[in-house]
A = this chain, B = another copy of it.
Amino acid sequence: MTDVQMQDANGHANGSTAYGKAAVNGLLKVGSKPAAPKQTNKEDLQLVLQSFRLLIADLCQQFGMEGVGCEALSYAGHLKLNNLTVIYDNNQITCDGSVDLTNTEDVNKKVEACGWEVIDVMDGVNDVEGIVAALEKGRDPNRTKPLFINVRSIIGVGSAVAGEAVSHGAPLGKDNVAAMKKVYGWDTKKVFHIPDKVKKFYEDIPARGEKHVKEWNDLLAQYSEEYPDLAKTFKERMAGKLPDNWASMIPSSFPSDPTPSRKSNNMVVSNIFAECPTFMVGTADLTPSVNMTWPDYEIFNPPDLKPISGKKGSYKGRYIHYGIREHVMAAIANGLAAYSPRTIIPITSTFFMFYLYAAPAVRMGALQKLKVIHVATHDSIGAGEDGPTHQPVELAALYRAMPNMEYIRPGDSEEVAGAWKRAIEYDGGPTMISVSRQAIPQLPRLTKRDGVGKGAYVLQEEQEAVVTLISAGAELSFPVNVAEVLSEKGVKARVVSFPCHKLFREQPLDYQREVLRRNEGIPAVVIEPYVSLGWERWADAGVNMKGFGHSLPGKYIYQYFGFTTQGMAGKIEGFVTDFRDGKVGRGEFVEL
């Protein structure tokens, strides 16, 4: 390894660098008071800045351009996050050249317009004291706004490519690293060498860290004596513990009349949300649609904010109005989850289709195995009038393919209960609970909440079956009705509920065979108004969407696309005959 390789390994956006880990694991301790700034002189600080520059020369100019950055800027200013400081490494360089090739906005004015305070550091290369002074201003507890430090820097300073785009996208190379060291008065021959003066500057870090830990532990001990109940709660929250009885807060049964599964969601979780402060629940401006509130919920907002609508909040609030900002909603939820496992369990919510806007952050949550629960409503063409812009047909393929993500489509209130039980228990990544806008039939003698955790289970067995019908979510009653019609025609069908691909994929082969019975020669047909991609693994044929949806009221749209009981029964009967007669080639998935 050389300096150059290390630079490369620390490329932008790589997430968990050694730095990040150190910060999380030891140097920063939750709740600790800011330590008194260490006495330093300018020379020391310059040296430290140099050593950082040699370690990570690759910083980004994305802030202010990328949409999610703008969403964060706008919302953080609104929330008056006075303990947030952003250092803007304003080197005016992107991969393509100088930033002004594509961005000439007045960044300070834009940031101020969003409710931030701005401090300029005009000479970010030399004015180390200016940077430190600005950072210290960010620690002032009397602040009322987040702080934006606009540091004018020069990328690759000291090298032959200083201030050029090539310093951003490519490793500097041996010669340029040596040139930088020469400018700094360092030994140009040594690589991965930390000069003694730098080491010396940092040598008291372990001792300081120990001191912080001790102070913290003493404070907590004192607190525990004075406030034993609060201290117990605090420790349980930090240990990620939910109340022992959380699962019993889920109703054991549900009304049997048709219910939108987005309303079932509320019946299942509103008690848990009300009782367990672990849950931070938010929505991207769809409160009336997503049904994620609970009685007397409090809004997370600055306490001095007096909205026109009269909905006041406080920083104790656990309901977050993210605004029409899906992407940053998911990103903030990741941050809440990353703080400490299960100390906060963040819930996001919007229409399923709008999780395409949030997808890059949802993916980062999956990559980092963060426990976030995404609530996606209006998850089918059944959403109706809003039309194909709001009707997902291909999006499930993304979330079913995404590693660590459990995308669950529960088929009635009972299965909604199972989906939440699994989601609250699952620690391997995010969950997406995908529910319906429209009322859907309840299947009280058929559905089983414990079946959801296995991904799929037999809803209706039929020993002599010649076909297995598979479905999920809002359309789970479809195969039940189709099976009845087929039975009248003498075609015996069994029915499988299949709420989650990932969970079923992880079951033992024996269980999979027991559920699907394809190894007994019984073909499977899936009914789902998404495109078929992904179902071909579990079925031999499908009644699926072949293109985008259409703007029609819910009661007409299924008919328009052929999802009628009689229509589907006819197609499936034809398929069963073709299959029996050997007209379907091995491994050939048939679109019905």
Contacts and interface: CB of A to CB of B under 8 A. Distances in A.
Interface of A: 8-9, 11, 13-15, 60-62, 64-71, 74-75, 77-78, 92, 94-98, 100-110, 112-115, 165, 169, 283, 285-289, 299, 301, 305, 307-309, 311, 321-328, 356-357, 359-360, 363-364, 366-367, 385-390, 393-395, 397-398, 400-404, 501, 509, 512-513, 518-519, 521, 524, 530-534, 536-537, 540, 545-548, 551, 585-589
B112 A66 contact: no
Contact of A9 (B328, B389, B551): B551
Given A385-B9, A534-B397, A61 B324 contact: yes
Contacts of A366: 548
A105 B70 CA distance: 12
Kindly report how many copies of this chain are found in the complex they form together.
Answer: 2
Nearest to A363: B356
B324 A65 contact: yes
B67 A328 contact: yes
Contact of A71 (B70, B323, B394): B70
18 contacts: A9-B385, A14-B389, A66-B325, A66-B326, A67-B357, A78-B103, A78-B104, A96-B286, A98-B311, A100-B305, A110-B110, A356-B359, A357-B360, A366-B548, A393-B403, A397-B401, A509-B588, A532-B537
Contacts of A60: 324
Given A324-B62, A324-B66, A587-B518, A283 B96 contact: yes
Contacts of A587: 518, 524, 540, 587
A536 B385 CA distance: 34
A259 to B, nearest CB: 20
A9 B551 CA distance: 8
Contact of A286 (B70, B95, B286): B95
A285 B104 CA distance: 15
A115 B100 CA distance: 13
Contacts of A533: 397, 400-401, 501, 533-534, 537
A519 B586 contact: yes
Interface centre among A110, A287, A357, A390 (most CB of B within 10 A): A110
A308 B92 contact: yes
Nearest to A512: B588
A301 to B, nearest CB: 7
Given A14-B386, A586-B518, A404 B547 contact: yes
Contact of A102 (B323, B326, B395): B323
B398 A395 contact: yes
A102 B285 contact: yes
Contact of A307 (B98, B305, B551): B98
Contact of A309 (B65, B101, B325, B537): B101
A66 B65 contact: no
Nearest to A388: B367
Contact of A169 (B107, B289, B402): B289
A400 B532 CA distance: 11
Contacts of A512: 588
Contacts of A165: 288, 309
Contact of A285 (B94, B283, B364, B390): B94
A400 B547 CA distance: 12
Contact of A356 (B323, B360, B393): B360
A65 B100 CA distance: 24
Contact of A311 (B75, B97, B551, B585): B97
